[in-house]
Amino acid sequence: MSQRLDTAAAAAMLANADRIHILTHASPDGDTLGCGFALCRALRQLGKQAQVLCPDAVPAKFSYMLLPDQDFEPAFYCSVDVASPHLLGRYEPLAEKVVLAIDHHANRTDFGENLLLKDYGAAAMLIFELLQEMAVTIDADIAACLYTGLSTDTGCFKYTNTSPLTHRMAAQLMELGAPAGMINREMFDTKSRARLALEREALASMQFAFGDRCAVMALPLSVQQAVGADEGDMDGIAPLPRQIEGVWVGITLREKESGTYKVSVRTDEHIDAAAVCARLGGGGHARAAGCTVTASLTDATAQLLDAVVAVVPEIAL
Amino acid sequence: MSQRLDTAAAAAMLANADRIHILTHASPDGDTLGCGFALCRALRQLGKQAQVLCPDAVPAKFSYMLLPDQDFEPAFYCSVDVASPHLLGRYEPLAEKVVLAIDHHANRTDFGENLLLKDYGAAAMLIFELLQEMAVTIDADIAACLYTGLSTDTGCFKYTNTSPLTHRMAAQLMELGAPAGMINREMFDTKSRARLALEREALASMQFAFGDRCAVMALPLSVQQAVGADEGDMDGIAPLPRQIEGVWVGITLREKESGTYKVSVRTDEHIDAAAVCARLGGGGHARAAGCTVTASLTDATAQLLDAVVAVVPEIAL
């Protein structure tokens, strides 16, 4: 069981550390990368050796956060926004070496010798507090990383995980030089031609169950290849089914490799998305969770509908 | 020429007024309605008679803002978020009676005896300051109206018109009871089945000009009718063309009545959208503007491309 630390204790621990590897989760998003690179920049500013370890390639749209690599023998492992060892992907074996896990997922799988956890909308809010505690100078580059985390994990301040504190931190980060307009345009308002075609196909694939309370969208490999969509084009497509009027639960099945679907479940207040995904070996938040299912598209869909009805029997009434 | 007032002077003017009609613009959006109903609630709280006059029907998604009608002979006309008399629609004749215009459009068509104008992202930010000046108690209902204005006019804090002040006001309004999650879900995350079909058709209609720097999307009446889309389903569809990678200017032509197109122009930093629309008798902001064109779809599109190239000749190079 991890030892819980407060922000000051975590700051003190990092102040005494050096040669630090910062682990992000696989299929990296703006929050895990924003946390990783903000912390890495801060640690380097303090004269330490630090390096972000991301299990997968960083999508091009996040390239403004990147730093030159530093080559050193790590003496301290820290994870940011990683809710479970298996989310470390190819770095999963490093989970047992993690001395400090920094996370905002309330129902995480415990790992890490020490844990800094607050139920914030974005893990980057925690890093912002941590860097202030460490007396780091938050320059425009660090502010850009942190703002990216805040903005992407809250759907640009749209989701219910946005608090007054999220807004106040966003205001501070803008004043510290975060180029909010550029970041949000990149994250939310830029679509490739391939993405456009992908959305058209995704909308056409939409099917409904339980009297239209459940919407299911499928993105088979064949469609992804036909429109020429890459990893980055997939980002932010998962929320679409849940946005339809009257839908309690929206499910997106995206074929990652032949016969294996990465599933995203988004819900309204009727259904706990994490509970649905837990039944299939996944997890996440109450309104947004995920799992991986290896099956035909028909079987995978059936397994998900079974999981939904097991969690909320009244959806089928 | 209107006399410019500061917030305190505008507050004093309203404090001395009674039997107040508040004019919103036609095709009402969240900002004009948020301003209108926040101000109306505040004036009634101060014991005055006040009524919002909206030239068009209020879309159902804004129904949480509505108030019971009050029937009285108006003695004071005020406009909120109305950039030009013709945007008053069927109430355009009342423009000359407006004693106080409250607006945030820097290049507006002058009208109104007095003018309270600040270049804020949302007119609701002005109303928030005004109500604080008037010592109104900002209850949860007023906060909901104001938050709606802030959120809708800034694309949920996504557009470059969002400032640190916008975020700080959003934080305050949440603390005053604005149900931000519900409002944003209604405004940004709820799509009817008709809207879904409309988006599919709109994406399929997308055409490109000037080496893909200009994207044009058309929504003819026939398509709107085929998918069963109503006024509310059109909302927020205009930004789509500009979101495509590499696009400087996105144009949406929506047929309002046979042969008349309501045109929305969205641009990046290369092009002044207001300048493009001004050439066709319209206006607006630098990044988002509009006009109305009566012509066939082909001719209307040609007129718009001509206007674009007249404003930014280098787009055709």
Encode pLDDT of B286-296 as tens digits. Answer: 989 999 999 99
pLDDT of residue B230: 81
Per-residue model confidence (pLDDT) at position B19:
98
**Distance between CA B163 and CA B175 in Å, rounded?**
19
Based on its alpha-carbon atoms, the radius of gyration of chain B, rounded to whole angstroms, reads 20
**pLDDT at residue B140 is higher than 80:** yes
If you average pLDDT over residues B12-18, what whole number do you get? 98
Task: Provide φ and ψ at A157, rounded to 5°.
Answer: 70, 20
pLDDT (tens digit, 9 = 90+) per residue, B54-78?
Answer: 999 998 899 999 999 999 999 999 9
pLDDT of residue B127: 98
Query: Is the C-alpha dihedral spanning A66, A72, A74, A75 positive or negative?
Result: negative
Distance (Å, rounded) from C-alpha B140 to C-alpha B256?
A: 36
Task: Burial-class residue B97 by CB neighbours within 10 Å (0-12, 13-18, 19+).
Answer: middle
Helices and strands (DSSP H and E) totals, chain B: 11, 12
For A165, the closest chain B residue by CA position comes to B171
Average pLDDT over residues B206-219: 94
**Which residues of chain A does B190 touch, with a Cβ-Cβ cutoff of 8 Å?**
243-245
Query: pTM for this one?
Result: 0.87
Probe site for chain B from A148, A157, A187 (most B CB atoms < 10 A): A157
Q: What is the pLDDT of residue A217?
A: 95
At A205 the pLDDT is: 87
Min Cα distance B181 → chain A (Å) is: 5
Of A157, A172, A203, the CB nearest to B200: A203
Residues 6+ apart with CB under 8 A from A299: none
Q: Among residues 177-206 of chain B, which lie with CB inside 8 Å of chain A?
A: 180-181, 184-185, 188-193, 196, 199-200, 203-204, 206
* Residues in contact with B298: Cβ distance below 8 Å, sequence separation at least 6, in sequence order: none
**Residue B283 pairs with which residues in a beta bridge?**
B290
Kindly state whether A163 is in contact with chain B, defined as any CB-CB distance less than 8 angstroms. yes
Q: Do B156 and A156 touch (CB under 8 A)?
A: yes
Res B192: pLDDT: 85
Contact B170 A156 (CB under 8 A): no
The per-residue pLDDT for B273 is: 96
Look at residue B53 and tell me whether its pLDDT is greater than 80.
yes
Question: Average of pLDDT values for B164-171?
Answer: 98
Q: Return mean pLDDT, chain B.
A: 95
Calculate what percentage of chain B has a pLDDT beyond 70: 100
Question: What's the number of CA atoms in the CB half-sphere (13 Å) around residue B280?
Answer: 29
CA pair distance A310, A137, nearest whole angstrom: 50
| Chain A residues closer than 8 Å to B158 by CB | 156, 184, 188-189
Give residue B285's pLDDT band: very low, low, confident or very high (50, 70, 90). confident
- Cα pseudo-dihedral A168, A174, A177, A181, rounded to 10: 150
The one-digit pLDDT tens for each residue of chain A (317 residues) are 899 999 999 999 999 999 999 999 998 999 999 999 999 999 999 999 999 999 999 988 999 999 999 999 999 999 999 999 999 999 999 999 999 999 999 889 999 999 999 999 999 999 999 999 999 999 999 999 999 999 999 999 999 899 999 999 999 999 999 999 999 989 988 888 888 889 888 888 899 999 999 999 999 999 999 999 887 777 778 889 998 988 999 999 999 999 999 999 999 889 999 999 999 999 988 989 999 999 999 999 999 999 999 999 999 98
Which residues, in sequence order, are CB contacts of B39 under 8 Å at separation 6+?
Answer: B22, B50, B78, B80, B102, B127, B130, B131
pLDDT computed for residue A196 by the predictor: 87
What's the pLDDT tens digit per position in B219-265? 999 999 999 988 777 777 888 999 898 899 999 999 999 999 999 99
ipTM: 0.86
pLDDT in tens, B152-165: 999 999 998 999 99
User: Shortest Cα distance from B149 to chain A (angstroms)?
Assistant: 14
Structure confidence at residue B191 (pLDDT):
85
What is the C-alpha separation between A162 and B157, in angstroms, rounded? 12
Tell me how long chain A is: 317
Statement: residue B82 has pLDDT above 90: yes
Residue A106: the pLDDT is: 87
Supply the pLDDT for residue B213.
95
Distance from C-alpha of B36 to C-alpha of B155, rounded to nearest angstrom: 19
Which pLDDT belongs to residue B233? 79
In percent, the amount of chain B with pLDDT more than 90 equals 81
Residue A35, token pair as written in the block: 């946390």
Residue of B nearest to A176 (CA): B164
Residue B177 pLDDT > 80, yes or no? Answer: yes
**What pLDDT score does B197 carry?**
87
pLDDT value for B67? 97
